[in-house]
Amino acid sequence: MLFLPAGSQDQIGQKLNNKAKITRVFRDVVCRRDYKAIETPVIEYAQTFTNPHVGMDLSTLLKWFDYEGQIEVLRPDWTTAIARALINQPPTQKKWFYQGSIFRNDKNGIESRQAGIEIIRSSQCLGEMESLLTAVDYLKALQIDDYLIELGHTGIFEYLIQPLELNRVEEEALRTAMHDKQTDVVERIVKEKGNGQVAKELVNLIQAYGDKEVLQKYRSDWQNQTVLVEIIDLLDYLYTSLETMGANVIVDLGRVKQLPYYSGAMFRGYLKATGQICFSGGRYDKLYAQFDTDISAVGLAFDIDVLANVISPDPAKKRICLIASPETHVQAEQMRQQLEDIQVDIQYQIPAQHNYDQIIDLTKEVNES
Give residues in contact with other proteins (CB under 8 A). Answer: 148, 150, 180-184, 209-210, 250, 252, 270, 272, 274-277
Strands 36-37 and 209-210: unpaired
**277 versus 359: smaller Cβ distance to other proteins:** 277
Q: Closest distance between other proteins and the C-beta of residue 48, in Å?
A: 25
**First-last CA distance in the chain:** 52
Task: Looking at the chain, list the stretches that DSSP marks H as alpha helix, in order from N- to C-terminal side.
Answer: 14-32, 47-50, 78-86, 126-141, 154-160, 168-179, 183-192, 196-206, 212-221, 226-244, 304-308, 329-338, 362-368
CA 216, CA 180: separation in Å to the nearest integer? 25
Q: Closest distance between other proteins and the C-beta of residue 250, in Å?
A: 6
**184 versus 341: smaller Cβ distance to other proteins:** 184
CA 97, CA 102: separation in Å to the nearest integer? 15
Q: Which of 316, 160, 142 has the alpha carbon at shortest distance from 231?
A: 160
φ, ψ (nearest 5 deg) of residue 99: -145, 135
**136 versus 271: smaller Cβ distance to other proteins:** 271
Q: Closest distance between other proteins and the C-beta of residue 24, in Å?
A: 28
Could you tell me if 222 and 232 are in contact, meaning their C-beta atoms sit under 8 angstroms apart? yes
**7 versus 351: smaller Cβ distance to other proteins:** 7
**184 versus 292: smaller Cβ distance to other proteins:** 184
Q: Closest distance between other proteins and the C-beta of residue 179, in Å?
A: 9
Name every residue whose Cβ is closer than 8 Å to that of residue 255 and which is 6 or more positions away in sequence.
Answer: 150, 152, 153, 179, 209, 266
Q: Residue 52's CB: how many other CB atoms inside 10 A?
A: 8
Angle at 249 between CA 248 and CA 251, to 5 degrees: 165
Q: Closest distance between other proteins and the C-beta of residue 188, in Å?
A: 10
CA 122 to chain centre: 19
Q: Closest distance between other proteins and the C-beta of residue 267, in Å?
A: 13
Q: Closest distance between other proteins and the C-beta of residue 183, in Å?
A: 5
**98 versus 157: smaller Cβ distance to other proteins:** 157
**101 versus 183: smaller Cβ distance to other proteins:** 183
